[in-house]
Amino acid sequence: MARKKFIAGNWKMNLNAAGSVALAAGLAKEAASLGAVDLAVCPPFVYIPQVAAALSGSAIGVGAQDMFYENDGAFTGEVSGAMLKDVGCRYVILGHSERRHVIGESDELINRKIVKALADGLDVIFCVGELLAERDGGVTNDVVARQVTIGLSGVSGEQMARVTVAYEPVWAIGTGRTATPQQAQDVHAMTRGLLNTLYGQAVADATRIQYGGSVKASNAAELLNQADVDGALVGGASLKVADFVGIIQGAM
Ligand code: 13P
């Protein structure tokens, strides 16, 4: 089944207001020639309104890097899905490895956020991936299967149309050490098989699974050529227009 590729930039905790707007404006200029793929950028919360303004009229969607599972109230420091919609977000990244392993988020917490984000009308980029010790210990598939199964608990097959899974091996994030195309394909195929078990073949076939972890223009095409690699979630190389456009061209 042909799935339209989806390339998203995760800006993480980088840039400032001027740099965010300049990057968004630069991408907006290129977007018209890149329509063969779906595109999104995920700036830090505080720059979302300005980035959304710079991208308005372009086909590039805006996403946040996290959200909380309550609507409003006494949750100091948190941001709700309704707030993200209010400032122009279509997407939210949930379960990113830095949220899991630096901040300490559990599968159960990530699941609550995913369920709420979908109820709030956001599209979810749901990240999973194993640590180096887990890969070396031969438990990659077990870890990713657990993360997917718990993370999607209570998510309906219909809602899965608004979920993208992002496989990001933790040892490949920001390290310059990319998974080989075969390593990526193997985990993506396993994940799609699990989605088939959980939701049936139509959902498994339609769900896009991005790869993330040191994706750059020079390795994007071979990763994205794999049968079950439907896009990329890009960190460092999404911070410069030329680098990000090079990856997108690799997907086309
Ligand atoms: P890098 O592309 O910098 O390795 O980051 C990947 C990532 O974590 C995207 O969410």
- The pTM score is 0.98
Residue 8 pairs with which residues in a beta bridge?
Answer: 40, 233
Q: What are the tens digits of pLDDT across the range 48-89?
A: 999 999 999 999 999 999 999 999 999 999 999 999 999 999
Q: What are the tens digits of pLDDT across the range 132-152?
A: 999 999 999 999 999 999 999
Asked if 247 and 232 count as a contact pair (C-beta separation under 8 A), the reply is yes
Q: Is 238 in the pocket of ligand 1 (CB under 6 A)?
A: no
Question: Phi and psi dihedrals of 166, rounded to 5?
Answer: -120, 115
188 included as an active-site residue:
no
Query: What spacing in Å lies between the alpha carbon of 72 and ligand 1's midpoint?
Result: 30
Asked if 65 and 97 count as a contact pair (C-beta separation under 8 A), the reply is no
- What pLDDT shows up at residue 77? 98
- What pLDDT shows up at residue 1? 66
Q: Which of 98, 130, 168, 188 is catalytic?
A: 168
Query: By C-alpha distance, which of 221, 89, 212 is closest to 162?
Result: 89
Asked if 160 and 201 count as a contact pair (C-beta separation under 8 A), the reply is no
Task: Report residue 142 as tokens.
Answer: 């077990």
Q: Is 178 in the pocket of ligand 1 (CB under 6 A)?
A: no
Q: What are the tens digits of pLDDT across the range 143-193?
A: 999 999 999 999 999 999 999 999 999 999 999 899 999 999 999 999 999
Query: What spacing in Å lies between the alpha carbon of 175 and ligand 1's midpoint?
Result: 9
pLDDT for 241 beyond 80: yes
Q: Is 213 in the pocket of ligand 1 (CB under 6 A)?
A: yes
Q: Say how far apart CA 229 and CA 87 lie, in whole Å.
A: 30
Mean pLDDT of 197-203: 98
96 included as an active-site residue:
yes
Q: Is 229 in the pocket of ligand 1 (CB under 6 A)?
A: no
